[in-house]
Structure 1
Amino acid sequence: MSEARAHRRRVDAVEGQLHVPNHIPRAERISNVLFSVPLLAYSIYGFVQDDIYIPGRRGPGVHLYGVPMWLMCAAMLSVGASLLSVVIDHYDTRANEANYRKFAAVTQLLGWVLFFGAFALDIWVYRGVGR
């Protein structure tokens, strides 16, 4: 066992058991940061401009304004927080991996709900399709 790995082992103060913090591969940590930072930056930019552009696959894409834009910004922040929580969990040596997993699951679910909610609100309320 390497010295670095042995150094990361410690006895949990609460349960008195040996705890080995989880290890997230470097490639996954780098990809999470590379995806989350531009996502968070674009969310802040969209919030400041009151316009978030979501490119379309075959069409011109969608511009979100007002409340749908707020929901999309919240969705992007939620997903960015979820991605960064994995990176933070790697460096946190406390025995709280279950808390990080719960946080990631909740923020991912919240991100999807807000994402689809932003489009639903834009389509049915702002564009008047539901009238």
Structure 2
Amino acid sequence: MTRLPPVEPGDTAADELEQAVAEARAHRSRVDAVEGQLHVPNHIPSSERFAHVFFSLLLLMYASHGLIHDDLYIPGKWAPGVHLHGVPMWVMCGAMISAVASMLSVVVDHYDTRANEISYRRVAIGTQLLGWLLFFGAFALDGWVYQLATR
């Protein structure tokens, strides 16, 4: 590894930035110079990226299976679980798709080297909020439909 000479007092800010970028690249870091600032993009470990992609695919396959058979089973911890059909099932599948979008935003953020981590964080938070609303909405809708059917 080669060390660069220290920046002299007469050097410009551009020279300092160039030296900082060169030093970071010497350490094999992904760096960008964004609007005169040194930016090091997020690094998500490969095991976490793999887990996010793997569970996203599992969740998509489970939602697809439920849609194909018009029966989405949501297991319970202390109860036998709930079978969703019709509109409540579609709402729950929307919640699952929101969860997939939230997980995949983390993976996409790793590969995007631009300085927009806050945008991906907002997408993740927004899709999580939407997913929880749809999740509880599906159960509320299922209870409402059940009440109408038993009248």
- In the TM superposition, residue 111 of structure 1 has moved relative to its aligned partner by 0.5
Question: Counterpart in 1 of 2:145?
Answer: 126
Aligned to 2:52: 32
Counterpart of 1:99 (choices 109, 119, 129) is 119
Q: Do structure 1's residue 10 and structure 2's residue 29 form an aligned pair?
A: no
* Larger of the two Rg values belongs to structure: 2
C-alpha RMSD of matched pairs (Å): 1.9
1:9 aligned partner, one-letter code = V
> Shift of the alpha carbon at 1:97?
0.5
The aligned residue for residue 86 of structure 1 is 106
Q: Which has the higher contact order (CA 8 A, sep 6+)?
A: 1
Provide the TM-score with structure 1 as the length reference: 0.87
What is the one-letter code of the residue matched to 2:83?
H
1:28 Cα deviation from its structure 2 partner: 1.8
For 1:83 and 1:20, locate their aligned partners in 2 and report how far apart those are by CA, in whole Å: 22
Aligned partner letter, 2:146: R
Per-residue Cα deviation, 1:63-122 (whole angstroms, up to 9, x for no partner) = 101110011000000001100110111011111111100000000010000000000110
Aligned equivalent of 2:75: 55
The CA deviation at 1:3 is 4.7
Choose 45-54 or 71-80, whichever is displaced more: 45-54
Identity %, equivalent residues: 61
Q: Give me the TM-score of the superposition, normalised by structure 2.
A: 0.76
